[in-house]
Structure 1
Amino acid sequence: MAKSSADDKELRIACEAAMEGGNQKIALSIRALKSRGFWGKSARPSRHHMSKPRVIVVTTTYPSKGRSSQPLLHVLKYSSGGVLEPAKLYKLKHLSKVEVLQNDATIFTMGFDNLRSQSVAPPQWTMRDIDDRNRLLLCILNTCKEILGRLPKVVGIDIVELALWAKENTPTASTTQVTPQDGPSVYVPAFIEDDSKVTVEKDLVSQAEEEDMEALLGTYVMGIGEAEAFSERLKRELLALEAANVHALLESEPLIEEVLQGLDVAISRVDDMDEWLSIFNLKLRHMREDISSIESRNNGLETQSVNAKSLVEELDKLLKRLRVPKEHVASLTGGSFDDAHMIKNIDACEWLSSATRALEAPSLDPCYGNMRAVTEKCSELENLKTTFVRLASEFLRNYFSSLVDFMISDKSYFSQRGQLKRPDHADLRYKCRTYARLLLHLKSLDKNCLGPLRKAYCLSLNLLLRREAREFANELRASTKASRNPTIWLESSFSSSQAANNVDTSNVSDAYSKMLTIFIPLLVDESSFFAHFMCFEVPTLVTPNVPGGKGNGSIENNVNDDEDLGIMDIDENDEPVSNTMELDSLNEALQELLDGIQEDFYAVVDWASKIDPLRCISMHGITERYISGQKADAAGFVRRLLDDLGARISMQFGKFVDEACHQLERSERNVRPVGILHCIPRFAVLATRMEQYIQGHSRDLVDQAYTKIINAMFDNLERVAQSDPKNSDIILLENYANFQTSLYDLANTVTSLQKFYHRASESYDQACLRHVRMIISTQFEKLFQFDQKIENLLYTIIPGDIPFQLGASKMDLRKTLRASLNGIDKSIFTMQKRLQKSLNSDELLPSLWARCKKDFIDRYESFVKNVVKVYPTEPIPSVDDMKRNFANVANFS
């Protein structure tokens, strides 16, 4: 037999690690399969209820101060990595029932009385075999008995069999817990032992009764020697008793005769009674047939009466449904939609909707559908619905157009010269809300009628919105006074003082912000109002939280708009349903409602970018902030408008950057390649100005501009340097040094400029190294050429053979030393003057001279090492002597 998982020590260790609790003691850990089952069903789990491997662990907590031990049932599952982890935790004090399936004794369920939903069937637990099941159940029952003092209800298993199994698997019956050789401790509950004893005692007599029977038998048998004599005695006594009975019968013969006569008389009377009963039975049968016939006729009449009554009631109900009130007919066909008649019209619509539903299934039985009265009434209701929908649609189309025409004809609604006017649609929405409930009923009566109404509303309101935006944008530009900033930032003709003292153009971006502050919330509100007013089944829109809230009247007054823009009070119980097709239809309608208004926004952007292209940075940040505030799905047009504005601002700023790059190429094309290029110091002024304008999310826009302009500057600098090979390194190191100096403060705070700062630093170091090498080679070319020759020979020849090579003899060394090192102080002084003369800026001279000195000393130190290695006997000035010569020249200069 396979070893049980209850004996697996590794499993017990894994369970202890999974529970991570030091206050629990494991009584039993065993593997099982979990599947979903149902109470009372003995079938095995179906394919839809797949078994899952689990580990069941029975634990008890250590008693703490003031609290007793508690039994717990842990269910552990395997994670994706095969590691046990907690899945469920049950308290055994809530265990109320344990049921074993009839057709499979290895499957059982456990019911707990604290589950939230008792209607959900508890899981089924499948054990490997009956022994594993008995071990688990015995452990659970024994734990409940010992700690809780009670037992759960056990169904489908015999307690006696469970006790016998426990005794068979327990070496000694005197103790409750035993330890078999091949498994863990097996608990034999005391309650099982008690029940088994009671059952046995009920089948046996008591000891006192047994003693009485033995004494009686002993007394009766006393004096009898053999069984045969006892048998003969009993036979004789039996014969004597039979003879006595026969004698008694013979003595009672007269009494028997008298009894027989009485019986004959009774039989004759019974025969007479039988004849009378036959006659009565015949009469009763005929009477029963008559009664049955009468009852059948009465039942038929009663059924007819009940059916007639029910028919009358149904006809009354049907007639009530078919009746059309005259006042509703007048309202539905009258065509009057002023405020005084709207309540009657709404009541008529509600009645028409309910009457139509009442004549449709399932409200009306389908058997009535073919009745002439029902078909005629349905036709009449359809005519009423068609007439009312046509009249109401025509009225609303004219009403929308008249409202907008009235507002357009009144110039006080729009911005005028010298006064910016915030669009005020509160009165328009208030008047439209009067017919909001009417639109709901029109949708319920005929959903197709909303299409033309939505289109008419969009076309009418679109004229008003475009007029308001155009007048506002024109007056906004006219009232904003700002001088145009020069866009020739990187041209040579543009002085740095002009850039430093440029005029303030913040009112340009403020004007753009004001345009968004006024119209973006207005457009979102219009989208929200339109979505609910025209009965679109979309989620509720939320007005974005952006600077510059809504207001009525003029901009200067800034009166808050407390008007309720939604119509959710029409039917607060109606919950909006998210519908993709409905949302697409809404966005198409909003396109018609707001199309064309974007041109006025574009005009403001183009106007602002012409005045100061750098203001595109702040306008882009303002636009991004509004985009991040748009969350409502039904305001898709507003989000697209903001995205288009951001793209147009980026395009205008891109044009400025491209023009700056072209200016850079034109301005430096004919400049003499000497000194600092004009674009290098001016870029620092431009970058400082751009950093001042960054708002919100416009960091990427500025970083892209930095990348494009700086790459163009560096490329142009390389071209200028290549045009003058003699002074190329001077041009490069001076310009890169100036770039680092002018951008030092910005590079410490702007991450995107740091990489260009490091790039300029590397290019500066390379140019310095090349120029210093050139200065040194001009004065000490022969010395370091001889050093290079020795260095090359050391790769192939040993040091002792080098003095015998052509051009590397000791005589050649002495000639080189005399030619290069005689008058070393004068040579160093000449080298310093040549370096100073080559530079246009004296600020770079100390650092370049330090580089020159260091590079010379490093190369001379290498020369000394090679000479000592190849010509050990030849005298040569030391490195320290050379350092002192440089120090004397520096002091002298």
Structure 2
Amino acid sequence: MAKSSADDEELRRACEASIEGTKQKIVMSIRVAKSSGIWGKSGKLGRGNMAKPRVLGISTKVKAKRTKAFLRVFKYSNGGVLEPAKLYKLKHLSKIEVVTNDPSGCTFMLGFDNLRNQSVAPPQWTMRNVDDRNRLLLCILNICKDVLGHLPKVVGIDVVEMALWAKENTQAVTKRQGDLEDGPYQVEVTEGDMKVTVERELVSQVEEEDMEALLGTYVMGIGEAEAFSERLKRELQALEAANVHAILENEPMIHEVLQGLEVATNCVDDMDQWLGIFNVKLRHMREDIESIETRNNKLEMQSVNNKSLIEELDKLLERLRIPSEYASCLTGGSFDEARMHQNIESCEWLANALRSLEVPKLDRTYANMRSVREKRAELDKLKNTFVKRATEFLRNYFASLVDFMITDKSYFSQRGQLKRPDHADLRYKCRTYARLLQHLKSLDKNCLGPLRKAYCSSLNLLLRREAREFANELRTSTKASKNPTVWLDGSAASNQNTNSADTSTVSEAYAKMLTIFIPLLVDESSFFAHFMCFEVPALVPSGSSNGSRSAPNDDDDLGIMDIDDNGKAGKKTADLEALNESLRDLLDGIQEDFYAVVDWAYKIDPLRCISMHGITERYISGQKADAAGFVRILLDDLENRISTQFSRFVDEACHQIERNERNVRQVGVLSYIPRFAILATRMEQYIQGQSRDLVDQAYTKFVTIMFVTLDKIAQADTKYTDILLLENYAAFQNSLYDLANVVATLAKFYHQASESYEQACTRFISTIIYYQFERLFQFARRIEDLMFTITPEEIPFQLGLSKVDLRKVVKSSLSGVDKSITAMYKKLQKNLTSEELLPSLWDKCKKEFLDKYDSFAQLVAKIYPGENIPDVSQMRDLLASM
């Protein structure tokens, strides 16, 4: 027989190691298989309840002079190490039951009375053989008897079998029972002990007394077992014979019972037949009830559907109904102001009716119904009729309003009276039909095109007439003397431009033209954009920057803003391009009157273009609304025209400057130099903030032509080139000194003139000095040239550079040096026409001569040591005394 796992010491040590620290001792450990399935007839476990390997251990623990016993369940971890899985207290063990379905008898269950869920079957434990099962169960029973003092109920185990097994296995079985009073101990179970244990465990006290009484009745013949068995057989036969005799004596009663049973059987058969009949009838009745219920449900559903259909048809008929008052208003109503409320209501009803017959509002299944299609066609006909009538009325209405205003001369400027255009009454009358235009757009957006053209063509006539009359009267009433355009011509009189007349009224007239008409045009653009239902961004009041807008216009524009209920201000829309095209039709042609004012102002005083340019730029910076696109274009065109006119003036002035080089020999300061200073001073007076670039460009062109022309004139006579240059550059600096301190562009040309002046002075002074002392300084230049190729000691031996030659040069140049210096001064004085330049030029001449002589003296001391020439200090004293 294979060795039992209960004798495996390594298994016991592994179990003890897994519960180390609990102060419990393992009495027995044995391998089992755990299952929770139900044993089938074949004696095999069910497929879903496969056995799991476990180890059952009996452990004891001594605590407070009492011994506690436990049943421990160990399982194997993933690494094959035993670890505690469950713990049961043996004091709660109430039943040990061997599973009868297991043919081997190796499967049993342990029942505990303290488990929470009694409805769940306890686990089943399967041993390898019956010996292992008996050994574990005997150990549990002995522990319960000796330590706990009570025995659990044993089910499915034969007492005699257990006793026989205990008798056959008389070898010593070692068990560990935990810590008792005297500590751990081992008990050997002998045959007698095992027998007593089994009897005490498996037979109760009452059963034991009954068995003793039974055996006591058979004391006499119990000596031999075979005799006793024979006696029992005879008594059994006697008892069976007596039972048969009693049965035969009761035969009449048996017949009565049989007859009663037969009657009852017949009644049962009849009842079964009747029940079958009733069952068939009930089945037929059930089928009838189901059929009735089905028909009833269909009738109820049909009734509900019919009711819903009637409601839907009523709603649809309500949509299809055209009220007579709306129909009469749309087809033949008047467009008078008193009737506009009814027209608006009719438009709103028509728009809603058309929308209600569209697919989003109307179910798609209704959209193709004949009645719906016919009603939609009827509504379209109503819409077309009304749109045509309203469009024709508004076109005639716009024309009549403008014709009335044009025929009344009091609306326009007249002789001696400038009239500000006032369109408040016109806009008030138009605003009456603003809501109607919105509804026309919602009904047929294509109808707005002809209306917009009609409005633009009518109002364009009025605006152009107002601008023409205003511009004519503005020019007539402005008093200003004309300034000549010959500014820089040298042939003109010297006092021609010095006493220029005041032409400020010209720029004031242009400013008034813009002040009156630019806000008007912006307001008209804004009104037109909202009145004609263009979806454009919100407009910034352009007149707010100059304060020229009147209160009535502000109120009127607020009213137009209220008309727009779409709430789409501030959003770029596709209507912007169409709006700009319409604004060109509305305002085109009015720019000619602005151009006429600009040309008129240019003829009076070309420099006023500077003021008008600044005024125009201020208006351009204030026009940022998209609906005023044409106004911005108009202002840009005005700015370009002003710039063109001013460029024309600049070109003419530059042509006048260039004409100076064609004249005869020029002497002294050219005439356009001081005239340019006068022109620049006046141009600075006309600048109004933002015209700086225009003026700076003119300065650049003027001065560039002036300097180029000056160079050409100076080159005509090379003998006097430097004199002419230095005198004119000096005059340029003197005349523009104050302006150059505040104007950056003029400061740049001032410095350029200063550099050119210094260069001309240097060349002119060198010419004067070499004219008197050419032999002396020519001798010094020859020495300087030779020093680059030979040593200073070799120079005195060169041809023409000996000491004798030096003495001759010094004698001829420096004997009577005071006369030569005086001759330099006279020559300088003779050539200059500007006497104010003579002192500064003479000082530069003396300084330049002294520097050259100092260099000559240093060369003589280095090349010709020992030769005596006048000392530099003597020459300085001589120059200072002159």
What is the distance in 1 between the residues matched to 2:337 and 2:483? 58
Q: Which runs of 5+ in 2 are unaligned?
A: 1-82, 93-142, 149-176, 215-242, 248-256
2:556 is the alignment partner of 1:564: yes
Number of the residue aligned with 1:507: 505
CA distance in 1, matches of 2:679, 2:357: 78
Instruction: Give 2:667's aligned amino acid.
Output: V
Q: Deviations over 1:388-431 (max 9, x none)?
A: 00000000000010001011011011101101111101111111
Where do residues 223-622 of structure 1 align in structure 2 (5 Å cutoff)?
Answer: 224-226=187-189, 231-237=194-200, 240-241=203-204, 244=207, 280-545=278-543, 548-550=546-548, 561-566=553-558, 567-572=560-565, 574-576=567-569, 578-579=571-572, 581-622=574-615
Shift of 1:227: 7.0
Alpha-carbon shift at residue 565 of structure 1 (Å):
2.1
The one-letter code matched in structure 2 to 1:563 is: D
Q: CA deviation at 1:240?
A: 3.4
Shift of 1:561: 4.3
Q: CA deviation at 1:284?
A: 3.0
713, 733, 755: which one pairs with 1:740?
733
Match of 2:561, SS? Answer: coil
Alpha-carbon spacing, 1:426–1:560, altered in 2? closer, same or farther (3 Å):
closer
What are the equivalent positions in structure 2 for 1:715-794 lying under 5 Å apart?
715-794=708-787
Letter in 2 for 1:321: R
CA shift for structure 1 position 460: 0.5
Deviates more, 1:218-227 or 1:878-887: 218-227
Match of 1:822 among 809, 815, 825: 815
Cα RMSD, aligned residues only: 3.2
Residue 452 of structure 2: SS of its match in structure 1?
helix
2:34 corresponds to which residue? none
Distance 1:227 1:787 in 2: 154
Q: What is the SS of the residue equivalent to 1:422?
A: coil
> Residue 616 of structure 2 is aligned with which of 614, 623, 626?
623
Q: How does 1:806-845 map to 2 (within 5 A)?
A: 806-845=799-838
Q: Is the 8 A contact 1:824 1:885 kept in 2?
A: no
1:879 aligns with 872
Contact 1:550 1:561 in 2 (8 A): no
1:856 aligns with 2:849: yes
Q: Report the residue type matching 2:634 in the other structure.
A: L
Bigger shift: residues 633-642 or 237-246: 237-246
How far is 1:573 from its partner? 5.2
**Which secondary structure state, in structure 1, belongs to the residue aligned with residue 567 of structure 2?**
coil
Q: Aligned partners of 2:376, 2:746: CA distance in 1, in Å?
A: 79
CA distance in 1, matches of 2:718, 2:500: 38
Given that residues 802 and 808 in structure 1 are in contact (C-alpha distance below 8 angstroms), is that contact kept between their aligned partners in structure 2? yes
2:642 paired with 1:649: yes
For 2:628, the equivalent position in structure 1 comes to: 635
Could you tell me whether the CA contact under 8 Å between 1:721 and 1:731 is conserved in 2?
A: yes
Per-residue deviation, residues 467-515 of structure 1 (Å, max 9, x unmatched)? 0000000000000000001111112243453323211100100000000
Query: Is 1:707 equivalent to 2:709 in the alignment?
Result: no
Partner of 1:797: 790
Q: Partner of 1:618: helix, strand, or coil? A: helix
Distance 2:697 2:517 in 1: 30
Code of the aligned partner of 1:569: D
Match of 1:59 in 2: none
Please say if residues 422 and 518 of structure 1, whose CA atoms lie closer than 8 Å, have aligned partners that are also in contact.
yes
Q: Pairwise mapping of residues 673-684 of structure 1 onto structure 2 (< 5 A)?
A: 673-684=666-677
Structure 1 pair 860–204 and aligned structure 2 pair: CA distance change class (3 A): farther
TM-score (normalised: structure 1): 0.71
- Where does residue 26 of structure 2 map in the other structure? none
Q: Are 1:685 and 2:678 counterparts?
A: yes
Deviation at 1:628, TM superposition (A): 0.7
Equivalent-residue separation in structure 1 for 2:695 and 2:186 (angstroms): 134
Cα distance in 2 for residues equivalent to 1:686 and 1:388: 68
Change (3 A) 1:284 1:228: farther
The amino acid across from 2:508 in the alignment is: D
User: SS of 1:568's equivalent?
Assistant: helix
- C-alpha displacement of 1:580: 5.1
Distance 1:325 1:447 in 2: 25
* One-letter amino acid of the structure 1 residue matched with residue 388 of structure 2: R
Whole-Å separation in 1 of the counterparts to 2:209 and 2:445: 111
Could you tell me whether the CA contact under 8 Å between 2:387 and 2:447 is conserved in 1? yes
Q: What TM-score do you get using the length of structure 2 for normalisation?
A: 0.72
Distance 1:279 1:708, change over 3 A: same
- Give the conservation status (yes or no) of the 8 Å contact 2:540–2:625: yes
Runs (5+) with no aligned partner, structure 1: 1-199, 553-558
**Alpha-carbon offset, residue 205 of structure 1:** 8.3
- Contact kept? 1:624, 1:696, Cα under 8 Å: no
Distance 1:485 1:235, change over 3 A: same
Q: Distance in 2 between matches of 1:534 and 1:242?
A: 119
Distance 1:273 1:223 in 2: 74
Shift, 1:293, TM fit: 1.2
Q: For each residue in 1:111-168, what CA deviation from the matched residue of structure 2 results, as whole angstroms up to 9, or x when unmatched?
A: xxxxxxxxxxxxxxxxxxxxxxxxxxxxxxxxxxxxxxxxxxxxxxxxxxxxxxxxxx
Q: Distance in 2 between matches of 1:619 and 1:227?
A: 139
- Of structures 1 and 2, the larger Rg is shown by 2
Aligned equivalents of 2:819 and 2:835: distance in 1? 21
Contact 2:661 2:712 in 1 (8 A): no
**Could you say which residue in structure 1 is the equivalent of 2:172?**
none
Contact 1:403 1:428 in 2 (8 A): yes
**2:8 matched residue in structure 1:** none
Q: Which residue in 1 is equivalent to 2:95? A: none
Aligned-pair identity in percent equals: 65
Task: Show CA shifts across 1:663-713 (max 9, x none).
Answer: 122245315310111000010000000000111321111011101111111
In structure 2, what is the Cα distance between the partners aligned to 1:330 and 1:622?
57
Change (3 A) 1:815 1:365: same
| Cα deviation, residue 286, structure 1 | 2.4
Give how far 1:719 is off: 1.2
278-287 or 402-411, larger mean C-alpha shift: 278-287
Question: By how many angstroms is 1:229 displaced?
Answer: 5.8
Contact 2:475 2:597 in 1 (8 A): yes
Shift of 1:853: 1.4
The one-letter code sitting in structure 2 at the alignment partner of 1:515 is M
Instruction: Find the residue that maps to 1:564 and give its secondary structure.
Output: helix
Report Cα offsets for 1:243-282 as digits up to 9, x if no partner: 939979x99xx9xx9xxx9xx99x9899998777655544
Name the aligned partner's letter for residue 565 of structure 1. Answer: D
Check conservation: 2:674, 2:735, Cα contact below 8 A.
yes
Between the aligned partners of 2:587 and 2:696, the Cα distance in structure 1 is 34
For the structure 1 residues 726 and 224, does the alpha-carbon distance in structure 2 shift closer, same or farther, using more than 3 Å as the test? closer
CA distances 1:215-235 after superposition (whole Å, capped 9, x unpaired): 646679999533766544433
Q: Is the 8 A contact 1:517 1:546 kept in 2?
A: no
Q: 1:827 to 1:382 in 2, by over 3 A?
A: same
* Number of equivalent positions: 673
SS at match of 2:809: helix
| Residue pair 1:538, 1:579 contacting (<8 A) in 2 also | yes
